[in-house]
Structure 1
């Protein structure tokens, strides 16, 4: 089972994402609605994957990733960014910032778990015990 830390400020997208991933039974999902909450949770919860919204009040997804990278348990944790702005320049910038993939919003809830599993299976990601 893969542990996911999902950070999303929109409660509707948060719930849809949670339900979509829980139905697959491959994921344990912990969610936060803002960057500061995620930083606090990350100190006690070690995830196998970060699923980060890009546009949030206070701190955007790539800034949050920079903060999380300062924690030893998150130095090399894979990250998938979720964004409504997915032009080729934005996607390239997010990959440059450390993202292994970008999921465009709105996304198809029924295929979200499969998209994430494909990304995880294509890379050298291992679950933590």
Structure 2
């Protein structure tokens, strides 16, 4: 890794939020973003994308964010990639639970599209990956 955040994978079941997030990260942040509508889709395609960071929705049908997180950590190429959650469930105990499983942070929804890229970059910089 060259110390720069360039590629972000985002897993979100809500099409409107997916579109807004992708727009904010690509147009404002300048990132290359791959969006996945479900955990199974992400698990099938994420390795080919080679993200520098992964953002996960918490509440999704079929497979929730924490389960996707755990399964991503079984993939050797993805295990070291920083992962954060984006969720409307942003109570202190819920955030602490997500951090406890290994997330680098949590971004509360609704989020400000104008500051989302900087929030993501701040989380990424807080990891050893930014070295």
How high is the TM-score relative to the length of structure 1?
A: 0.93
Counterpart selection for 1:64 from 64, 68, 71? 68
Consecutive unaligned residues of structure 2, counting only runs of 5 or more, are none
What RMSD, in angstroms, separates the aligned Cα atoms of the two structures?
A: 1.4
Q: CA deviation at 1:64?
A: 0.3
2:129 corresponds to 1:125: yes
Q: How does 1:92-111 map to 2 (within 5 A)?
A: 92-111=96-115
Runs of 4+ in 1 over 4 A off after TM superposition: none
Consecutive unaligned residues of structure 1, counting only runs of 5 or more, are none
Please state which structure has a larger fraction of its residues in strand: 1
> In 1, Cα distance between the equivalents of 2:104 and 2:47?
22
SS of the residue corresponding to residue 23 of structure 2 reads helix
How high is the TM-score relative to the length of structure 2?
A: 0.91
> In 1, Cα distance between the equivalents of 2:83 and 2:9?
10
Paired residues of 2:47 and 2:78 also in contact (CA < 8 A): no
